[in-house]
Amino acid sequence: MKALHFWMLPDHGSKTASNARGHLREFIRMHPEIKVEVAVKTASSLWKQLFLILKRPQEVPAPDLIEIPAPWGSTLEQLGMLEGPSVPWWTEIGVLYYRKDLLRRHGLDPAEALASIGGLMETCRRLARVGGRCLPIANGNSRDFVSMEDVAPWVWSRGGDFFSRDGSRALFHREEAFYGIHEYLQLLDQGWMPLLGKNGLVPVSLFEGGSFLQFHGRLPPRCPFPLGAVVFPRGDGGRRGTLSARHLAVPRASALGPESSELLRYLTRPSQAERYAASVGGFPCRQEQQEASFQGAGEELGGVFREAKAHARALPEVPFLGTLEKVFDRSMENLIRTILQRSYCESVLRQELIYAAAEMDYVLSLAGAAA
Amino acid sequence: MRRRKEPCGLCRFHRKLLLSDDLMLAALGLLSRELACEKAVGFLENPRALSLEARGCIWHGARQETEEAIHLHPASPIAELLDGRRRALSQRFPRPILYVPLSPIQGHPAKGVLRFERATGGRPFSAQERLRAGHGATALAQRLERAEMTRRNKEQIKRFQALTELAAIFASSLRVEDGLKLILQGVQQHFALDRVRLYLVQPGAQKLRGELSVDMRGQVKSLRAEEMPMVAGTHRFVDLLLGSNRDPLLERYSETVLHLPLVLQGNAVGLLVVDNLMSQQGIANEDVGMLKSFAGQIALAVDNSRLFDEVQALSLYDSLTGLPVRRYFFQRLQEEIYRAQRFSQPLSLALLDLDYYKEVNDTYGHQVGDDLLREVGRVLSSHLRKIDFPCRYGGDEILILLPQSKDEDACAIMTRLAQRIREIRIPVPFSKAKEISVTASIGVATYPEDGRTAEDLIAKADEALYWVKSRGKNAVASCARSRTTAEPSS
C-alpha cells in the first residue's frame, strides 16, 4: 500500500483532520492501494518545512499534496517547488459581523454606523465606553499578529496599494496605504480590538460572546446570539473587501506524483470542492457554486456576501508574495510591540513601513535571480 | 520502604523521551486527561522576540500544531507567573482557563507556561486541580531542562563534526578557487541557509569584489561582476568593513541576514554574507557563534591561499621579463601535445632570439640589456593571443607555444610579433643615438610534421632559428627551410 502524505492547514480547528478524512472516503474507496495520511500544519510550520525540503532534499521527507494560502503559489512555483501551478480549492470573503441584539440595545443602526470607516471607528469609540465583558471588536487572530490580508481592505479602501502595478516596488509606505494601516492599528492601540499579550489571556471571539463586532470571511459558526453582517465599510477610496483563497498543489519532490495529481483533481472537482468549502464555512472558488452558497446562507447573509464579493480583491500576484508577507508580518509584530509598550505613534509606523518597504524592494530585486 | 508517589506520573512516563517537543506533547496529553480539559497548550520563552511561543498543543486528545504567541509585558499577569511571583492564573469567562508556570523549582523563574482550557460553560478549575497542574508543570520543566542539555550536547557534537569537515577542506585547499566553492557549499548545507555570498578585498586594488554565491539548492554562481571601491559611503558592505556608520537597515535584517567581516590581524580581507531572506527564517542564535568561527577560518584560508598563489607566482614566472619559466612551460607543452594528439589539432612552437643582444650588453651595460628584455617580455605578454604561451628559455632566448596553429599561421603570428619587437625603443641618454632598437630571429616547428615530442619540436625550431641567423637574422622561418616567410628588413 502506498502512503500519500497530505499536509493541510488548520481549516477546521481541531476537527480539520477528521473532517478531511470524511471527504477523502470516496477517493480511498476508488484507490484501495493508496493510504492518505493527513497532517495538519500551521502556516508558519508549513512554510518552514517546505523551505527545508528545498534546502535539504535528501534529508527531509516531502509531502505529496499540500494546501497553501493562495499568495504562496507564485513563490513556490518560482522556486520550482511545485509540479504545475497550484489549484484553487476554497475561499473566504471578508465581511463584518455584528451582534444584532447588542447594537440595537445601544441604539446603533448597523447600516448607518458601519457604513464607513469613520463610522466604524466612532462606533468602536462608543462601544468601548459601554464597558462590561464585551470589547468593541474581536481579534480574529489566535496570536498577536496582523497580516497583509488583515489590513488589505483598510489600505484599498483608502485608495492605496501594497505594490506597484509591475510588481517591482512596494508602495504601502505611501500616504493612502499608510493611513489605512494606521486606522487598523488604531483599533489595537485604542484597546478596541484586544491583544493577547496585554493580559496573556485568550481573546474571545464574537461567536463566543466576547465582542460586538468581528471581521470574518466565512459563514458564522452556530452560536446563541442573533448575528448580522455588513460588507467592509467604505473609505475615501471606495469600498473594498478581501477574497482569500486556499490552493492545493503537488510538490515536485513528491514520490507519488501521478497519485497526488489524481487526489488533487478529485478534491478540486466542483462537487467535492463545494462540499469541503461548506464543511469549513467557506465558499467554493467557482462563480456558479459561490452563488449557490450565497443562496444557501439565507437572503440577508447571502446578500451581504454577494455584495462583499463584488467589492472584494485578492492580494496581488507579485513574485515571492509569500516571502513579502513574512516581511510584512515581522514589521507588524514590531508595531504591536510598540502598542504594548504604549509607544506607538504615526512616526513609529512611518519609519517601520519605510524600512519594511525597503526590505521588500530588495527581496523583489532578488526575485529574478532566486527563481 | 514506601515509594514516594510521583505528582502526576510524569517522571515515569517521560524517562524515555529525549526531545523537548515530544516531552511537551506527552506531558500535555497526560495532564489534559488528568485535568479533564479540552485543550492544553505549552509555551516556551523566545528571548529574541520577548514573547512566549506555543511549542505544543493537545486538542480533543490529539496533537495539533498551533501558531500562538504571547507578547511579554512587565505588568501582565503572565510576567508575574514567569518571574515566580504567581503560582497559577485562571479565568472563568468565556471558558475556564488555567495557566501554570514551567519552572523546575516552584516559586523560581520559569522558562514558559502551560495553558489548560475547558469548553465554554465548563466547570472552573478547582484549587486541587491548580495544584496538580502546578506539580505536573514542575516535573515537566525539570525534564525539559535535561532534554535541552541533551539536545545541546548533540547539536554541539554535530557542529564539531561539521567544523572538522570544513576544516579538512580548508586544510586541503591551497588555491582560493578550489577551496572556496566547497567551503561555501558546506556552510550553506550545514546551516540550511538560503544564500551564502563571499566578497574579498582585492589587495593593492583597494576594491571589494564579489567572489562566489551559493543558493538554497547548493548551486554556485560567480559574483565577479560585483565590484565596489573601498571608499566609505560607496556601499554598505564597504562601510561595514571600514567600520563606518552602520546602516539601520542592516539592523533590521539581523535576524535573517548575517554580515561576517573576514578579519586577519586587524585587517579586513573580505566579507561573508549569509541570509535566509527568501524563506524569512531567523538564523538560530547558536548558529551565529559557529558561523562567526567559520568566518575566522575562511579569513585564514583566504590569506593562506593568497600567500600560496604569491609563492607559486614567484616560482613559476621569471622576475625580469614576467614570462613563465622553463619548468612551467614544459608542463604546459606536454598538456598541449596531449591535446593536439587527442583532438587532432595543430600546434606550433617558436624559438625567438634577440639579434646582437650580447653586443647591447657589452656596449651599453647590463642595465640597458635588462631594460630591453623587460620590454620584450611586456610586448610578448600584450601582443600574443590569449592561448599562446611564451617562456624565457634562457638568456635572450624565448620559447613560444602556439596552440591551434599550423606552421603558416604560426609564422604569420611571429612575423607580426617581430614587427612589434622592432618598434621597441630603449632610451640610452648617454649614447649618441639616445635610444636603441632591436630585431629578433625566429624559428618555427609544427606538430606533428616536424616532431611529435617536446624535445623534437624544440630541436626543429632551433634548426629553423639557426637557418635564419645564418642568413642575416631579423626574420621568421618555419622548419622547412625553403619556406622563408619574411626577408631581413635591414
Question: Closest residue of B to A206, CA-based?
Answer: B94
The three-class DSSP label of residue B244 is: coil
Residues of A in contact with B255 (CB under 8 A): 330
Q: How many CB atoms lie within 10 A of CB A173?
A: 20
Of B59, B192, B253, the CB nearest to A55: B192
**Rounded alpha-carbon distances, angstroms, from residue A224 to A100, A202, A206, B162:** 12, 20, 11, 60
B93, A204: Cβ pair inside 8 Å?
yes
**Rounded alpha-carbon distances, angstroms, from residue B29 to A29, B59, B123, B442, B488:** 33, 9, 19, 91, 101
- Compute the count of residue pairs across chains A and B with CB atoms less than 8 Å apart: 129
Residue pLDDT, tens place only, B304-330: 777 777 777 777 888 889 899 888 898
- Please give the grid coordinates belonging to residue A62: 516531502
B57, β-bridge pairs = B41
- Dihedral (Cα; B34, B35, B39, B42), 10-degree rounding: -80
Question: Closest residue of A to B68, CA-based?
Answer: A143
Å from B62 to nearest chain A CA?
Answer: 8
- pLDDT given for residue B13 in this prediction: 45
Distance CA A66, CA B471 (A): 85
Of A48, A75, A144, the CB nearest to B69: A144
Contact B18, B135 (CB under 8 A): no
B70, A14: Cβ pair inside 8 Å?
no
A197, B194: Cβ pair inside 8 Å?
no
Å from B40 to nearest chain A CA?
Answer: 12
A14, B91: Cβ pair inside 8 Å?
no
- pLDDT given for residue B50 in this prediction: 76
Å from A44 to nearest chain B CA?
Answer: 8
Å from A205 to nearest chain B CA?
Answer: 9
Å from A288 to nearest chain B CA?
Answer: 34
Q: Which of B252, B256, B257, B276 to mutate to test the interface with A (most CBs of A within 10 A)?
A: B252
Residue pLDDT, tens place only, B111-129: 999 999 998 788 999 999 9
B71, A336: Cβ pair inside 8 Å?
yes
Distance CA A157, CA A173 (A): 15
A47, B64: Cβ pair inside 8 Å?
no
- Please give the grid coordinates belonging to residue A185: 492599528
Contact B413, B405 (CB under 8 A): yes
The type of residue at A89 is: W
Give residue for cell 574579498.
B200
Of B50, B76, B248, the CB nearest to A199: B76
Of A55, A142, A327, the CB nearest to B68: A142
Of B66, B97, B280, the CB nearest to A323: B280
Pick out chain B residues at pLDDT < 50.
1-14, 16, 482, 484-490
Å from B115 to nearest chain A CA?
Answer: 9
Distance of CA A195 to the CA centre of its chain: 18
Distance CA A266, CA A24 (A): 9
Of A43, A143, A359, the CB nearest to B252: A359
Q: Model-level pTM? A: 0.73
Of A197, A355, A363, the CB nearest to B73: A197
Å from A319 to nearest chain B CA?
Answer: 11
Q: How many CB atoms lie within 10 A of CB B337?
A: 21
Contact A146, A119 (CB under 8 A): no
- pLDDT given for residue B92 in this prediction: 82
Residues of B in contact with A200 (CB under 8 A): 70, 76-79, 81, 89, 99
A10, B97: Cβ pair inside 8 Å?
no
Distance CA B15, CA B247 (A): 49
Contact B229, B206 (CB under 8 A): yes
Q: Which of B52, B70, B226 to mutate to test the interface with A (most CBs of A within 10 A)?
A: B70
pLDDT, averaged per 10 consecutive residues of chain A (371 residues), comes to 93 89 94 93 88 86 94 88 94 96 95 96 94 85 80 95 91 94 95 71 79 94 92 92 96 94 96 96 93 93 96 89 90 90 94 93 74 42
A255 at interface of B, judged by CB pairs closer than 8 A:
no
Which of B206, B221, B210 has the alpha carbon at shortest distance from B273? B210
Residues of B in contact with A41 (CB under 8 A): 65
Q: Could you tell me the end-to-end alpha-carbon distance of chain A, in angstroms, rounded to an integer? A: 36
Q: Half-sphere exposure of residue A6, counting CA atoms within 13 Å on the CB side?
A: 26
Contact B91, B78 (CB under 8 A): no
- pLDDT given for residue A348 in this prediction: 96
H/E stretch holding B165 reads helix B127-172
- Dihedral (Cα; A36, B18, B117, A97), 10-degree rounding: -50
**Rounded alpha-carbon distances, angstroms, from residue A218 to A91, A92, A221:** 8, 6, 9
Å from A270 to nearest chain B CA?
Answer: 29
Q: Where are the alpha helices (DSSP H) in B219-364?
A: 236-242, 248-252, 285-316, 326-343, 357-364
Contact B346, B413 (CB under 8 A): no
Residues of A in contact with B28 (CB under 8 A): none
Å from B225 to nearest chain A CA?
Answer: 14
- pLDDT given for residue B18 in this prediction: 52
Give residue for cell 591561499.
B305
Residues of A in contact with B68 (CB under 8 A): 142-143, 196
Which of A349, A328, A363 has the alpha carbon at shortest distance from A147? A328
Residue pLDDT, tens place only, A17-68: 899 999 999 999 999 999 999 999 988 889 989 998 998 888 888 999 999 9
Give residue for cell 567581516.
B261
- pLDDT given for residue A371 in this prediction: 42
- pLDDT given for residue B311 in this prediction: 73
- Those of residues 17-36 in A touching chain B at CB distance below 8 A are 17
Residues of A in contact with B56 (CB under 8 A): none
Beta strand pairing call for B440-447 and B476-478: parallel
Q: What is the secondary structure of A17-64 as a DSSP string?
A: HHHHHHHHHHHHHH-TTEEEEEEE--HHHHHHHHHHHHH-TTTSPPPS
Residues of A in contact with B98 (CB under 8 A): none
Å from B75 to nearest chain A CA?
Answer: 8
A359 at interface of B, judged by CB pairs closer than 8 A:
yes
Q: What is the secondary structure of A231-298 as a DSSP string?
A: PPPBBTTB--EEEEEEEEE-BTT-S-HHHHHHHHHHHTSHHHHHHHHHHTT-EESSHHHHHHHHHHT-
Of A51, A197, A358, the CB nearest to B249: A358
Distance CA B44, CA B55 (A): 7
- pLDDT given for residue B487 in this prediction: 47
B263, β-bridge pairs = B268
A355, B249: Cβ pair inside 8 Å?
yes
A320 at interface of B, judged by CB pairs closer than 8 A:
yes
Which of B428, B466, B424, B427 has the alpha carbon at shortest distance from B445? B466
CA B91, B97, B103 angle in degrees (round to 5)? Answer: 105
- pLDDT given for residue B4 in this prediction: 46
B194, A55: Cβ pair inside 8 Å?
yes
- pLDDT given for residue B148 in this prediction: 85
Task: Kindly report each contact of residues B372-378 with a partner whose C-beta sits within 8 Å and lies 24 or more positions away, as own/partner.
Answer: B372/B424, B372/B426, B372/B436, B372/B438, B373/B320, B373/B321, B374/B320, B374/B321, B374/B322, B375/B424, B375/B426, B376/B321, B376/B421, B376/B424, B376/B438, B376/B440, B377/B318, B377/B320, B377/B321, B377/B322, B377/B323, B378/B322
ipTM of the assembly? 0.83
A52 at interface of B, judged by CB pairs closer than 8 A:
yes
The type of residue at A117 is: I
A202, B97: Cβ pair inside 8 Å?
yes
Q: Which of A58, A146, A340, A342 to mutate to test the interface with B (most CBs of B within 10 A)?
A: A340
Which of B258, B156, B149, B268 has the alpha carbon at shortest distance from B201? B268
Q: In what order do the strands lie in the sheet with B397-403?
A: B389-394, B397-403, B347-354, B440-447, B476-478
Contact A138, A99 (CB under 8 A): no
**Rounded alpha-carbon distances, angstroms, from residue A174 to A159, A179, A182, A349, A356:** 11, 9, 12, 12, 12
- Please give the grid coordinates belonging to residue B80: 508575574
Q: Which of A7, A11, A14, A205 to mutate to test the interface with B (most CBs of B within 10 A)?
A: A14
